[in-house]
Structure 1
Amino acid sequence: MNEIAKWLIIGGVILIGIGLFWQLFGRLLPLGRLPGDIVVEKENVRFYFPIVTMLVISIILSVLLSIAGRFFR
């Protein structure tokens, strides 16, 4: 099997796993509704910018990828 195809399949499985985890445990982890996320609501417009959520996800992914990088060296 092609190396790129393997990585695409692995990435897809990971995304499906994250989606299932988020669906099942989304109420326990309030990602997307953290203090500091910007929400502006007007009459017909709702603007939502999850800046704190993005920072938390970025930190978690950085730590996980750093740990994974040490195993694959």
Structure 2
Amino acid sequence: MSRALIVVGLIIIAVGLLWPWLSRTGLGRLPGDFVIERENFTFYAPIGSGILLSIVLSFVLWLLSR
């Protein structure tokens, strides 16, 4: 359990450090990512990005479990 928490923490740190380069990939602007902007309100639903990340993470975890 402690090893898994350390790995998750390292992944979060790596994503945080690489965020300037990751934001250029267009991950938050995929088809299916909805943005509703009003005067005092902004709603962002990253449905397309969430599905893509889910598929990629499922594939990576499937590879690691083999």
Does the alignment reach a TM-score above 0.5? yes
CA distance in 2, matches of 1:25, 1:38: 20
Unmatched 5+ stretches in structure 1: none
Q: Does 1:31 align with 2:27?
A: yes
* Structure of higher CA gyration radius: 1
Query: How many pairs align?
Result: 66
Distance apart, 1:69 and its partner CA: 0.7
Q: Does 1:11 align with 2:8?
A: yes
CA distance in 2, matches of 1:7, 1:36: 32
Equivalent in the alignment of 1:69 = 65
Higher percent of residues as strand: 2
- Identity, % of aligned positions: 45
CA distance in 1, matches of 2:48, 2:64: 24
Distance apart, 1:23 and its partner CA: 2.7
CA distance in 1, matches of 2:30, 2:65: 29
Higher percent of residues as helix: 2
Following superposition, which runs of at least 4 residues in structure 1 exceed 4 angstroms of deviation? none
